[in-house]
Amino acid sequence: MKKQAYNPYLPSWEYIPDGEPYVFDGRVYVYGSHDFYNGYVFCMGDYVCWSAPVDDLWNWRYEGVIYPRSADPENRDGKMCLYAPDVTVGPDGRYYLYYVLDKISVISVAVCDTPAGKYEFYGYVRYPDGTRLGEREGDEPQFDPGVLTEGDVTYLYSGFCGRGDKSRTGSKVVVLDKDMLTVREGPVLVVPGSEYSAGTEYEDHAFFEASSIRKVDDKYIFIYSSEVMHELCWAVSDSPLGGFTYGGVLISNADVGIDTYKPADMPMAYAANDHGSIVMINGEWYIFYHRHTNNTWYSRQGCAEKLVCTEKGFAQAEMTSCGLNGGPLAGKGEYPAYLACNLFTEKHDLYVGQPHAPRVMQDGRDGDENEGYIADITDGTTAGFKYFDCRGVRKISIAARAYADGVFEIRTKWDGDALAAIPVVSSNVWETYTADIDLPDGVNAIYITYRGTGTPQLKSFTLA
């Protein structure tokens, strides 16, 4: 079988959220922060980079550590975390990495001659008098920089706006000189936060964090995480310096807002914050975002979905297991359970951290290259996988372990009729169980629901 691209697109033991995707010289590079499995805060790792050929989006290559935490002069002891970065190509053709440390509110810059080489500290974004952006009286703290360079000019966006904090107004932009450090204009507000959005088109979808900027044809597209956290939204303008109008939602990492296969307000995964951006690959637009694993905020994984463009712009993308594959997955073969794009109980809780919620996890510690699986499954837990091009599927198998006395029911709709029931029993090793099934030919989702006692774990399922 031809190798396929999945969601998450990186190995299941890698945790790279906040992805900013770019195409350089025929490869897609993703720059993000670096969570740990079982991490206890956000962004505990050094910056690493992964890349893939534009015509082989399953074939991701680890580029290694491109910038360690201790490289910043303010963080020689490595005690601060590297928050979400962004990259742009400067007027000199070099690659500039913009980022913020978690304890100081200024923007640092590193530089490299290649997209994924060793970046070296370059300086701090500053005003002409040398005062660092974020430290002048009246400045708001800097956070989640997004950058776009056109000619000799770079536009730098930044901001963080929690609900209830009137000292934070929204995302602001500054214009940098060709040295990539000196502020030439601004800061200027471009999208308001929740405390300043009442009565505007941004109300209920106001700016929270995760500023990102792209140019699409002759328009500027601003991507951001909204006040509800689980969604990435977009706004559009003829100018990078303002005049942005609200466009809509690009993705929700709970699929809230999607009404094609369930009610629009029903969450289908455990959500929390989101961060990402758009990129064109082979003539198609994709949204890169992240999901949450291990029932925590701090072990996030990168995912991507194809975007549909309409007369009104980008439509909201649905979460899938096939992501960058360009279409449904083959309806034959074994698929790991960590590919679940839907994971919920009968309560359909929205946010991570619910007691005893099902979760994607792995054995071992961070860095151990062990494939993920679903744990803490209880009566009524459902894992959903979308989509598969099925032809003549007559058997389905699952690999499960741990304490269990029940059945796994198989459906093609989350609320549809059960097409098969696979009994399972307690086992301290992975066991395979098989049942006959008559899956309809065509493109199907696969929903696997547990009914019974205990807390089984699900490693994979196989269509045959």
93: left (phi over 0), alpha (psi -120 to 50) or beta: left
Q: Is 144 a catalytic residue?
A: no
* Inter-CA distances, 327 with 23, 151, 300, 389, 390, Å: 21, 37, 24, 9, 13
d(CA 294, CA 369): 16
* Inter-CA distances, 156 with 136, 147, 195, 225, 252, Å: 17, 5, 23, 17, 25
Tell me which of 20, 35, 140, 209 is the catalytic residue. Answer: 209
d(CA 326, CA 314): 17
Amino acid identity of residue 452, one-letter, is: G
C-alpha 7: how far from chain center: 10
Q: Is 376 a catalytic residue?
A: no
Specify the residue for token string 């935490």.
Answer: 69
d(CA 222, CA 146): 9
Tell me which of 14, 18, 35, 274 is the catalytic residue. Answer: 18
Amino acid identity of residue 380, one-letter, is: G
Residue 455 DSSP code: -
Query: Tokens in use for 32?
Result: 């993000």
Give 314's strand partners. Answer: 309
Amino acid identity of residue 190, one-letter, is: V
Report residue 32: phi and psi, to 5°.
-150, 180
196: left (phi over 0), alpha (psi -120 to 50) or beta: alpha
Cis peptide before 68 (omega within 30 of 0): no
d(CA 72, CA 26): 31
Residues catalogued as catalytic: 18, 209
